[in-house]
Amino acid sequence: MRTVAVVGSQWGDEGKGKIVDLLAADADVVVRFQGGNNAAHTLVVNGEKFILRLVPSGALHDGKVCVIGSGTVVDPFALLEEIDALKKRSYLNGEGRLRLSYDAHIVMPYHRAIDRAREARLGKGAIGTTGFGIGPAYEDKMSRQGLRFDDLADWKTFREKLERNIKEKNLYLKAVLKAKPIDGDALIAATSKLRRRILPYLCDTGAFVAEAARAGKRILFEGAHGTMLDIDYGTYPFVTSSNCVASAVFAGGGLPPGQLDATLGISKAYATRVGSGPFPTEIHGRLGDKLRSEGGEFGSATGRPRRIGWFDAVLARYAVRVNGMWGLAVTKLDVLSGIDPVKICVGYMVGKERYDEIPPGRHALAKAKPLYEEMPGWSGGLNGAKSLEELPANARRYIERLGQLTGVPIAMVGVGASRDATIVLKNPFRD
């Protein structure tokens, strides 16, 4: 296979960065196709921890071309900080290693200010955004008020548009949200300064990706967030502001339709979500606290504690369907060691009705009561395992059961945090 997408099958934070990093060794090009720096991928390479928010995970491999596609919204200040941090650690060196779409939209400080003021105003009814301005940036894109990196080429015109936006956003911040306006003069000066550093990275990434596909290059598409946070397919309104499913590869990544060879879904061996919204298998109390602590379940971008739940096979089957998944990578199996029994949600009860698929109407999900299948647990560390045969028998049975319930092969199993702590059963670039 030559073109592969990696997408989350839950509410994000499934460990996509680690799997992308592993697959990037076999890829020529790694493309980020949606989202912004509200998503963060945590990787551990040779004992060293990296948190990537905008730069694709391929940056940690020599010679790979990293592409930030047109479907993304990019905070240029955050992007430059990330580039500087990587180069300081001797990564992302060499001309042409990073390419940023002319058509990607720019996240500005006024987007962040609006995002945070709205959440504060909503109080207990807040959606639970990261406050990084992603939603307001996509709003501007859809209302045709957004600023794209292409606009930076003509500073005079860009400045006029920016001044117009600052005036309008400050009026909204003060009059409607009762929040502090941003310093427009400081923003214009800072943007003028960063412009010279950003322009060399700009590229017609759609043409670049299409040509790479025609040339038979191996292209890896890196998704952010997860299926259940997709603006159309997720638990609306408790979702992100972009399409996270595999079909977004075509609009946001530049690959011509019909040329995606495989979609690999990523799922934890349990489930997590950040922020508000329905979570049928949520675990409360001491067990939830234990799994959160053992799994380091705190947001990479925000530090917020994640909500914890059992693996939900109903949602997993839904993710398999809407993404057309070729296989599933299960991460963090090691976190479940010492838990007995382990549970898997195999269906829901909504009132007196049983559902083995997501019930029609997303509001019903908030009323769904999980139906669990219990399996015996296992003990001991899994970090040294290199094959399924080296796992405890009950851990193997658990993985096998997940494959049966989701209806797709289990391609990889994560047994630790480091890059090499992954049992690879199928590699889409090699199989």
Helix (H) or strand (E) holding 194, with range, is helix 184-198
The DSSP letter of residue 236 is T
CA distances from 170 to 40, 125, 155, 174, 187 (A): 29, 24, 22, 6, 13
Token couple for 188 = 């214009």
Q: How far is CA 297 from the centre of its chain?
A: 15
Phi, psi dihedral angles at 422 (to 5 degrees): -140, 125
Token couple for 152 = 């930076």
Contact 7, 252 (CB under 8 A): no
Count of beta carbons in the 10 Å neighbourhood of residue 187: 18
Q: State the angle between helix axes of 76-88 and 184-198 in degrees (0 to 180), rounded to the nearest 10.
A: 50
Q: How far is the C-alpha of 81 from the C-alpha of 59, rounded, in Å?
A: 14
Catalytic residue check, 13: yes
In terms of DSSP H, where are the helices of 26-108? 76-88
Of the residues 21, 26, 28, 41, only one is catalytic, namely: 41
CA angle 243, 279, 407 (to 5 degrees): 70
Of the residues 13, 115, 151, 312, only one is catalytic, namely: 13
3-state secondary structure 112-163: HHHHHHHHHHHHHHCCCCCCCCHHHHHHHHHCCCCCEHHHHHCHHHHHHHHH
Catalytic residue check, 140: no
Residue 74, strand partner residues: 106
Q: Which residues carry out catalysis? A: 13, 41
